Structure 1
Amino acid sequence: PISENTPRSSNNPYGNSKIDAELLIQKHMVKNSVGIISLRYFNVYGEGQNAGVILQFMKQLKNGSPPIINGGGLQSRDFVHVKDVADANLAAMFSKRSGFFNVGTGKSITINKLAQIMIRAYALEMEPEYIDSGPGDVRESRADIAKTAKYIPWKYSIELDDGLFRLCTGDMHS
């Protein structure tokens, strides 16, 4: 799991921009003696999503095409629903704590398993297709949420299977 104390590193521009932003936040906190809370979102999915593997799979499956997986599909991610992220933001807003906090589930799932869940959600029978992975692909990403659980009154509530089913079937209110 990736804790808030795990050394920051990235091999892509997006990750580098996140690191740069955190360094600026830390500098501001020290220079001005202020408390700031910063949330580190893991893989957010749900309504309004405009990028990411879940949206990619949804588009492919809606068209009757198999999901295309980069690499062998053994890479894993910690997916957290956007409604849970919104709740985490509210909880953090009223927290007296300062610092960096992970927002995730503390659980990871392989991309292969994700594809299978989504294929079932669309009531299809097919196997994913595989292509070579691109440069900079992260092997594993799972949040250590112990610090968040200790200091912010928040915990995720939407299990991935349920969130994916609702997203894939368009049933956002159950």
Structure 2
Amino acid sequence: MNAHTGLLEQWRKVLVFNIGADEVWSFDQLPDVQRLPLRFPIDPVHSSKYGYREDYFFALNSLGHVLTIAAIRLIRDPAKENDGSIDLCPIGGWFPDTLKAARTLDKHYLTDIFSECCSSAFGIVVEMALCAPGRLPVLCSRLDALDNTALHKLAMDAVQGAVIPWLFEDLLELPAVAK
């Protein structure tokens, strides 16, 4: 096994999502951020012309997006919220836990990308709930479509430098009332 394949396997083993396992919803169902490898197995197909440093930060940003979306997915229990809504009450408890994980990653990778991803994604959800609640059903259906296997695939694509879909795509247009 070459170094790239070995690094890819390390990521595969640590990027485990168990959201909703045993009908329990807890932060421990997300990957253990303290076990993430320091290097990224950037696929040569996804390498930029700017080199590993640029690819590294792109992978960091993409992984931050996936992990934050997984945290948002974790707070949404589709069995309880089957009307296309998100109960924002748990965010008060989940956000500090998510931000703590993001700060751990920021220290681990010597950057603030994870904290920025975390804060902006949670901010988008709260803003959408307050300013454009009619868009929440679309967001919720996208979140509900992300099972543990889909999250694992997105995370693996992210660490390899692939472009991952942005969950908030087309949901951020200002409503006519806010303009």
Structure holding more strand per residue: 1
Q: TM-score range by the shorter chain?
A: under 0.3
Task: Give the TM-score of the pair, scaled to structure 2.
Answer: 0.27
Task: Give the TM-score of the pair, scaled to structure 1.
Answer: 0.27
Structure of higher CA gyration radius: 1
